Structure 1
Amino acid sequence: MNRIQEVLLAELHSLISTLGSKGGLMSPSVYDTAQILMTLPPAEGGWPAVEWLLSQQHPDGGWGDPVMPLHRDIPTLAAVLALRGYGRRQGTRAAIQEGIAFLRKQAALWATTAHVDLPVGGEIVLPGLLNQLDAAGEMHIPRRPYGKLLEFGERKRQSVAKLPLLPGMPWNHVWEITGTEPYPQLIDGSGGLSHSPAATAAWVKAASGRPELEETAQRARRYLANAERACEMGIPGVSSTIYPFERYEQLFALYALQIAGVLKDSRLEGVVVPIVKELVAALGSKGIAMSDHFLQDGDDTAAAVMLLHEFGYPVDLSVLYRFQNDDHFVAYAGELHPSPTVTARCIHALMVMGRDVAPFQRFLLDRRDADGRWTVDKWNRSWLYTTSHAAIALIGSPHVEELREAVEAVLVCQNRDGGWSTNGPTNLTETAYAVLMLAYLERHGFTHQGISLSLDRAFAWMLQNYRPFARPDTKVKCWIAKELYRVDRIDSIFELSAMLMLDQRKSKERGV
């Protein structure tokens, strides 16, 4: 074993051993922090969170990652509304005005938007925030560009209002916009409301002055404190946008190891096997969820089915077929638009278990762009992530030409430095997505003359930019919720798995 492998394995071992701890580790959220400042400011005072919020504003006046323009309105609206309560601080009023000017410029983008472009819950959250801005007496933002969104949002609100009051349900993830009465049964076993810090803070505010709800409210406050710790900022009120998500973190991280072909590496066995045993216990007859207190979903369930099968545990595939909807799979029933990556992961699981996946592969092919890529997914904004999952789901199928076009689309987009990025400078996370796809196809018999050289160039760039046990200051955010976020342990394990796989590949070539 060479020195590079030693370091990569040491860091992987360290990270895997922490998977699921603190409920998961996630980047801080502008949106949820702003909502907490509005509804339930920290007892220690809100100014440190306000200062953090101001530091997140971009030069164009908006908040949120510029890589996805339509996903910036929600954090920007929330930040503007939150800062109104702190307008006496120098610079805050200017930040508010710049934010409103940004939103007015943004409005035109919504005139032609499609449902697939929305952030999670955007059809309800965005109209709700616009109404709050009007009620606050700030500059009015014309509604005409939002016409389609407003119509859809109203239908969705009416639909959600008819759903049962159950804990851990996706439809209550936007309770800070839709909720009124703080029913105690909405608070789940984590102490929060549908794994949303924003919704939980709103529930606590609504429950204030209600002695019969005080015990539940205290549980909810403890939940919010835990959600703060999960983003490791150390600033009261600065929170993640989802919490907890320990199973999601465990499953997706181990899935990266599986794609890389290093899941069962004996040197990682001591930290991987205990997690697998946890997941065996967590997988029930209805599947598995992002945490033990949320509704089961098809994406996590597919990853769990594949993982348990890999380790020789018996798996009843009916648990996965629960999420089938005709020719595709869904994360949750009643979704507006299905996710290609959810169907791709389900295909992958069924493939390794020897089941027919041809109808589901056709669903994926129908969602392919003309240039051979898959560019739209509801859970991850990187087309490299979506394309890599789709390509893996087509390996061994008759669709060799389509697979070749996907490979060539990835190869042609490799940057001159050897890495990849869908926007801005090359980054480790998206380079890992591309590398894992190309190397997986290569290991499973797919041949293309450009793959070998491409992987060599990528490995050189990754090694040059790898800093052992030190995450970069600029962390790309690819995951989609109410705003873009990063799941640091998952993304880091994608990166490390890709590098370990590439190093082992080079060692094999050298006959070492």
Structure 2
Amino acid sequence: MNETSFAALRSAAQDIVDEMIADPYGLTSPSVYETARMVASTPWLEGHQQRVEYLLAQQHEDGTWGGPAAYGLVPTLSAVDALLSVAGTQDAPRIAKAVESGLAALADRFPRDAELPDTIAVELLAPWLIEQIDQRLSGMDDRGALPARLDLQADTGTLDKIRELLRRHTSIPEKTWHSLEALGAPAVRSDTVTPTGGAVGASPAATAAWLGEPPHTDAVKASLEYLHRTQARHGGPVSGITSITYFELAWVVAALAGSGLDVDIPAQVADTLRTALGTDGLGAGPGLPSDSDDTSAALHALDLLGKPESVDCLWEYDTGLYFTCFPNERTPSTSTNAHILIALADRRGQGDTRVDGAVERVGDWLVDQQEPDGRWMDKWHASPYYATACGAAAMARLDAPRPSAALDAAVRWVLDTQHADGSWGRWEGTGEETAYALQVLNHQAAPDRRSLEAIRAGRAFLTAHVADGREDTPLWHDKDLYTPVRVIRAEILATLAATRHLADSEQEAGA
């Protein structure tokens, strides 16, 4: 890579940092699921017509919305329900056609026994949306060719339990605030829920559910202002998670710090993270519950910035075998444990036997979670390339036979799954997944010819991705798939910079 192109990478990386400092919320892509909830619940909010248009424009040719395969179920349910709520009020022919094809897709493309991806609150949202659609269909005077109900079933047990807690005015788990819209009338102005900066669970849909229908009093002015501000960010459509302040800061710092890109990280980044850390760590952003993933990432970022903080806030997530992301979670996270291992590995050899022991056993647990083909999977991301990059980074910090063998297996899997155009991706080649694959290959002490050729081809794909300004495919788990935009841009730029010496090695080897 010549100096001009490297300087361009550095400049683009600095732009990301500067944008991040200027934006108190973090940048996430619009959400079909969340936008549809706003169409159904807040037709009175400015931007309503733009949200309807967004839904119509986002429908795929097969009638679905959202991600591939089962990732399309929740956004398709949400979009169909929303368009049913406005059927006959505006642009009736287009809406009717979209509803009809959406219902057909729900009947044909999602088997009743399909295993759903572990997106946020799927166990609440899927049964609730099926209920919603069935109620709308049964209440229609003239359904025409539309069915009387969906031929879908979902377990309502967990949903019913949480609804009952609200009916009794009993506190519900804070992590469920993010999906408050599924809980119905008891959620309206519930005194068991506390908005932060007007937002409930950093979610427009949850906030709208808590507000209820107009008229609204001055007591909820902050929540109304939050909704107006949030819809304006994307010109009507809304993101599913609207505050990733600490997540964005920590991930961008971690991506750029070891890349060789000499960017200026203002002192306020460390100050913000240090201030946010509490006895149980911090969450992705204000108004979200603390979790060990964002906490460990923030601790690692602070180490990289030369502002270390105590890791004691992580111990309450320790099960003795692995670390949970949230208390009482259904499934553990491999990427979270990889991030925790990395944060704790920074503190090894300082006389804290608890840290040293945790690094060893989390490393063993991660090796045990590796798939036979060498990849890892995770609950927070649709792509195995993300989890594998996290796992490989953790293994690279451990000097022992099992982690070394695990890293070798991850490298082999990456090499075996590269696409013909040099990219990597679960469904198709993407910039984000290609960056993760290159990060795995970059952990090798001495890459062989095959690895160097794969790196060269991957870098060529990434370079074109950046030069063409291509959008990054939503792959992160929220209620549906989303993109943390600046985080992914930073990962891509940092990967191009960090692997440039390997590209030079390939060029020399071919000379």
TM-score range, shorter chain: 0.7 to 0.9
1:165 Cα offset (Å): 3.8
Change (3 A) 1:465 1:316: closer
Secondary structure at the residue paired with 2:364? helix
Aligned equivalent of 1:422: 426
Within the alignment, does 1:318 sit opposite 2:323 as a pair?
Answer: no
Residue 353 of structure 2 aligns with which residue?
A: none
C-alpha separation between the residues in 2 aligned to 1:126 and 1:387?
29
> 1:390 and 1:163 mapped to 2: Cα distance?
42
TM-score (norm 2): 0.87
The alpha carbon displacement at 1:455 in A equals 1.6
Letter in 2 for 1:483: D
Q: Who is 1:27 aligned against?
A: 29
Residue in 2 that maps onto 1:459:
459
Equivalent residue, structure 2, for 1:39: 41
Alignment of 1:141 with 2:150, yes or no, is yes
Are residues 1:86 and 2:86 paired? yes
Tell me if structure 2 keeps the 8 A contact 1:70–1:118.
Answer: no
- Distance, in Å, in 1 between the alignment partners of 2:168 and 2:293 is 26
Residue 505 of structure 1 deviates from its aligned partner by 4.9
Where 1:125 maps in the other structure, the secondary structure is helix
Partner of 2:288: 294
Aligned partners of 1:14, 1:91: CA distance in 2, in Å? 41
Q: Secondary structure at the match of 2:401?
A: coil
AA paired with 2:104?
A: A
Closer, same or farther: CA 336–406 of 1 in aligned 2, 3 Å: same
Deviation at 1:225, TM superposition (A): 2.2
Write out aligned runs for 1:408-447 (5 A): 408-424=412-428, 426-439=429-442, 441-442=443-444, 445=445
Matching of residue 239 in structure 1 with residue 221 in structure 2: no
**1: CA distance, partners of 2:163 / 2:156:** 10
Question: Could you tell me how far 1:187 is from its partner in structure 2?
Answer: 3.6
Q: For the Cα contact (< 8 Å) 2:472–2:488, is it kept in 1?
A: no
Structure 2: 5+ residue stretches without partners: 139-146, 349-355
Letter in 2 for 1:499: L
Q: Does 1:7 align with 2:8?
A: yes
Tell me the secondary structure at the aligned position of residue 288 of structure 2: coil
Q: Is the 8 A contact 1:192 1:200 kept in 2?
A: yes
After superposition, the CA RMSD in angstroms is 2.6
Aligned ranges for residues 56-205 of structure 1 at < 5 Å? 56-66=58-68, 69-88=69-88, 89=91, 90-108=93-111, 110-113=112-115, 117-137=117-137, 139=147, 140-144=149-153, 146=154, 149-151=155-157, 153-154=159-160, 165=171, 169-179=174-184, 180=186, 181-183=188-190, 186-205=193-212
After TM superposition, give the deviation of residue 358 of structure 1 in Å. 2.0
Change (3 A) 1:496 1:184: same
Alpha carbons 1:248, 1:300 under 8 Å: kept: yes
Identity %: 26
Q: 2:37, 2:78 within 8 Å by CA — same for their partners in 1?
A: yes
The SS at the match of 1:141 is coil
**Cα displacement (A) at 1:185:** 6.0
Question: In 1, are the aligned partners of 2:46 and 2:228 still within 8 Å (CA)?
Answer: no
1:353 aligned residue (341, 347, 351): 347
Aligned to 2:300: 306
The Cα shift of 1:84 comes to: 1.9
TM-fit CA distance, 1:320: 1.8
Distance 1:65 1:329, change over 3 A: same
Q: Identify if the C-alpha distance between structure 1 residues 156 and 364 changes in structure 2 by more than 3 Å, giving closer, same or farther.
A: farther
Q: Is the 8 A contact 1:287 1:298 kept in 2?
A: yes
Give deviations 1:238-292, integer Å, cap 9, x for gaps: 110011111111111222224x433xx5x31x33543123222222332121113
Question: Letter of the aligned partner of 2:203 in structure 1?
Answer: S
Q: Deviations over 1:385-436 (max 9, x none)?
A: 0111111111233212222111100111112222211112x22111111112
TM-score by length of 1: 0.87
Matched residue SS, 2:77: helix
Does the C-alpha gap of structure 1 residues 44 and 243 become closer, same or farther in structure 2, counting only changes over 3 Å? closer
- CA distance 1:510–1:44, change in 2 (3 Å): closer
Name whichever of 92-101 and 46-55 sits farther off: 46-55
Partner SS for 1:301: helix
1:238-257 alignment runs, 5 A limit? 238-257=237-256
Q: How does 1:248-397 map to 2 (within 5 A)?
A: 248-258=247-257, 260-262=258-260, 265=261, 267-268=262-263, 270-354=264-348, 355-356=356-357, 357-375=359-377, 377-395=378-396, 396-397=399-400
Q: Contact between 2:270 and 2:307, CA under 8 Å: does it hold in 1?
A: no
- Name the CA shift for 1:245/1:42 in 2 (closer, same or farther; >3 Å): farther
Q: 1:215 to 1:185 in 2, by over 3 A?
A: farther
What are the superposed Cα offsets for residues 108-148 of structure 1, whole Å, 9 maximum, x if unpaired?
1x51526xx2321010111011111111125312345x3xx
User: What's 1:485 paired with?
Assistant: 482
Q: For structure 1, which segment, 18-27 or 379-388, has the greater mean C-alpha deviation from structure 2 after superposition?
A: 18-27
Aligned letter for 2:255?
A
